[in-house]
A = this chain, B = another copy of it.
Amino acid sequence: MDDLKIAIAGLGTVGGGTVTLLRQHADLLAARTGRRLRLVACAALAKPANLPLDGVPFFSDARVMARDADYDVLVELIGGANGIALDVVTAALQRGKNVVTANKAMVAHHGRALAELAEQSDATFGFEAAVAGGIPVIKALREGLAANRLSQVYGILNGTCNYILTTMRETGREFGDVLAEAQSLGYAEADPSFDIDGIDTAHKLAILTSLAFGTVVDFSKVHVEGIRHVSAFDIRAAEELGYRIKLLGIARRTDGGIEQRVHPCMVPIRSSIGCVEGVFNAVVAEGDFVGRTLFEGRGAGATPTASAVVSDILDIAAGRRTPTFGLPAKLLAPLKAAAIEDHRGAFYIRLTVLDRPGVFADIAAALRDEEVSMEAIIQRGRAPGETVPVVLTVHDTLERAMMRAIERIAAIEAVVEPPHLIRIEAF
């Protein structure tokens, strides 16, 4: 069969990893599909000196490559929801060319439009590398578990956050300190907000939601909280209560619609997801026939991401086609979102209170008045007249009721700082 002609836009970390993989495993890849995967063009602002690109036509403008070069697959590894990345992907699909990307922001924001464009052009739009790096979770949801109706999908989708939370637990250090170290080690970006504020996780969750439930990708409906406010105290308290704190993305079918939420979450230490530590990612999918499945692996980095990019290319080389989001784009339903206020779940609340008689009674009364059922209240240490931390946990309750109770608690004179909440999932 003919060679499969590949053009790569973006030669940073992942682009470099992809070039390396295509060279290093050229024979294996050809054996798998009967076609050689041939790099016919690449584009970047400047040509990197350290990559084996001799003889490969180089474009300093990816848009020109997308429009003019002769290729079968355009691999977009530039990044960003819009701008050049969106331009080159759109141009390639409009030409009827296949596209493979690792760009979660773009898929989260423009997934439906790009899926429609790919269908009109009879092209493949692959994004295995956009979620959970090397873990083949897109393929698992779209093909491996395709016989199921899924009830929920959730996961640890950002390795930087999981590394920070794991290190905080192991060392007892505070968030800012561990973040600074992660930055110096290259595990966190100079501007870390995409990661630690949960946006990256939310992009990935929006994609998983669409695949899991057959709905249009809708990033705007994701409730997003990051991990800046998780303290070393919270992590110790979680441990004592039998939990680990993870930044989770959770999408769940409920009677009121589909929940999509990203926030720090206490999960049982012995749960599968609680065992996932360090830079590892994991996705759990629950289906009506298969039950609970978990997929774990490295969620980022040059080589795991290249593994996912090339798996998409192999599908194209072999002619394996699946609708972009598991169903033809016209069958994707609008996402009817459940309001976060309608979420039911358990909560952990950290309070800072003046250690004086009557405080517990006031707190308990505030919860009772909103019909929130307290599970435990624990004061750590004694310091009469001074402030002390108090930890509360409550049984499953409506978020709306919890928020009203928190408002009442915050108004108690002896509660000297804003209450801090972390949701608990039993899984």
Q: What is the interface of chain A, defined by CB distance below 8 A to chain B?
A: 17, 21, 25, 28-29, 31-32, 34, 128, 134-136, 139-140, 143-149, 214, 270, 272, 275-276, 287-298, 303-304, 306-308, 310-311, 314-315, 318-323, 326-328, 331
Partner of A306, one of B21, B147, B322: B147
Is the beta-carbon distance between B311 and A146 smaller than 8 angstroms?
A: yes
A-B contact pairs, 16 of them (CB 8 A): A28-B149, A29-B146, A31-B327, A134-B145, A134-B291, A139-B143, A143-B315, A144-B311, A147-B314, A272-B276, A288-B303, A289-B310, A290-B308, A295-B296, A319-B321, A320-B320
Q: Select from chain B the residue with minimum beta-carbon distance to A296.
A: B294
Residues of B within 8 A of A319 (CB): 319, 321
The answer to whether residues A326 and B136 also contact, given A25-B149, A146-B314, A290-B298 and a CB cut-off of 8 A, is no
Residues of B within 8 A of A303 (CB): 288-291
Is the beta-carbon distance between B306 and A289 smaller than 8 angstroms?
A: yes
Partner of A310, one of B135, B136, B147, B331: B147
Residues of B within 8 A of A128 (CB): 144
| CA distance in complex: A237, B153 (Å) | 37
Partner of A293, one of B134, B143, B323: B134
Residues of B within 8 A of A323 (CB): 32
Residues of B within 8 A of A290 (CB): 134-135, 297-298, 303-304, 307-308
A3 to chain B, nearest CB (A): 17
Partner of A148, one of B293, B307, B328: B307
| CA distance in complex: A327, B144 (Å) | 20
Q: Select from chain B the residue with minimum beta-carbon distance to A315.
A: B143
Is the beta-carbon distance between B31 and A328 smaller than 8 angstroms?
A: yes
| CA distance in complex: A209, B296 (Å) | 20
| CA distance in complex: A140, B311 (Å) | 10
Partner of A134, one of B17, B28, B32, B289: B289
Partner of A143, one of B145, B320, B331: B320
Residues of B within 8 A of A320 (CB): 143, 320-322
| CA distance in complex: A149, B24 (Å) | 10
Q: Select from chain B the residue with minimum beta-carbon distance to A137.
A: B144
Q: Is the interface of A mostly helix, strand, loop or mixed?
A: mixed
Residues of B within 8 A of A145 (CB): 134, 136, 307, 311
6 further A-B contacts with Cβ under 8 Å, apart from A290-B303, A293-B296, are: A21-B147, A134-B145, A134-B293, A139-B144, A143-B315, A319-B321
Is the beta-carbon distance between A287 and B307 smaller than 8 angstroms?
A: yes
| CA distance in complex: A228, B230 (Å) | 47
Residues of B within 8 A of A34 (CB): 328
Residues of B within 8 A of A331 (CB): 31
A11 to chain B, nearest CB (A): 17
Q: Select from chain B the residue with minimum beta-carbon distance to A320.
A: B320
Q: Select from chain B the residue with minimum beta-carbon distance to A279.
A: B291
Residues of B within 8 A of A276 (CB): 272
The answer to whether residues A21 and B144 also contact, given A139-B139, A326-B32, A327-B31 and a CB cut-off of 8 A, is no
Is the beta-carbon distance between B318 and A322 smaller than 8 angstroms?
A: yes
Q: Which of A145, A298, A321 has the most chain B CB atoms inside 10 A of its CB?
A: A145
Partner of A272, one of B296, B298, B328: B296
Q: Which of A293, A294, A328 has the most chain B CB atoms inside 10 A of its CB?
A: A293
| CA distance in complex: A147, B128 (Å) | 13
The answer to whether residues A25 and B147 also contact, given A31-B328, A289-B17 and a CB cut-off of 8 A, is yes
Q: Select from chain B the residue with minimum beta-carbon distance to A314.
A: B146
Partner of A311, one of B147, B275, B328: B147
| CA distance in complex: A85, B326 (Å) | 33
Residues of B within 8 A of A298 (CB): 290-293
Residues of B within 8 A of A139 (CB): 136, 139-140, 143-144
